[in-house]
Amino acid sequence: MRGSIIWLVLGIIVAVAIQSALPRITVSGIPFTPDLLLVFLALAGVRKGRIFAVFTGFSLGILQDLTTQVNLLGLYAFIKSLSGYALGTIFQYREYWNRTVRLLAVMVCFLIHFGIYAFVTLYGSEVQIIDFLRLIFIPALLNWILYIILEKLFFDLKVG
């Protein structure tokens, strides 16, 4: 347990340090910053289970909230706690789900994460199909690809 907490704290520090130094890239005219904290949460969640993922998600979310939000303070903490719970579910089913299903489940969690954020921020305004692509699908897809690369790099495909 103590080892897990040390890894969690170290992981958060490294993720935050890299995230704050990441450049903003533009994909087909759409500005995009990888959400390394979400990717870190996914990597931790599918290996450590729900409780660990929920508290990790909450810690990362509150950190994001306190540094980047004003009127929506608490939103990232809420979404990342929820995403942590969903990602931790993948750990529960690691014996039954093959790698493809687990990766698809991670993608669904990412879609939920960006979907809730987009819903709250766009609530009450005119929304077009392109907004769904720009705010939900493309960030989820790009972060998912990053997740697969990092998973391959650090864990050599041995999920769970």
**Sites of contact with other proteins (CB under 8 A):** 16-17, 19-22, 24, 30-35, 37, 49-51, 54-55, 57-58, 61-78, 81-82, 85, 88, 117, 121, 125, 131, 134, 139
Q: Which is nearer to other proteins, 34 or 102 (CB)?
A: 34
**Residue 61: CB minimum distance to other proteins, A:** 7
Is 25 strand, coil or helix? strand
**Residue 32: CB minimum distance to other proteins, A:** 7
Q: Which is nearer to other proteins, 101 or 131 (CB)?
A: 131
**Residue 126: CB minimum distance to other proteins, A:** 9
**Residue 123: CB minimum distance to other proteins, A:** 9
R_g of the chain computed on alpha carbons: 15
Check if the beta carbon of residue 8 is closer than 8 Å to that of residue 54.
no
Residues 6+ apart with CB under 8 A from 33: 22, 24, 25
User: What does the DSSP assignment read for 85-153?
Assistant: HHHHHHHHTTTTS-HHHHHHHHHHHHHHHHHHHHHHHHTTS---HHHHIIIIIHHHHHHHHHHHHHHHH
Q: Which tokens sit at 37?
A: 């904290």
Is 29 strand, coil or helix? coil
Q: Which is nearer to other proteins, 5 or 66 (CB)?
A: 66
Q: Which is nearer to other proteins, 23 or 157 (CB)?
A: 23
Q: Which is nearer to other proteins, 66 or 152 (CB)?
A: 66
**Residue 156: CB minimum distance to other proteins, A:** 28
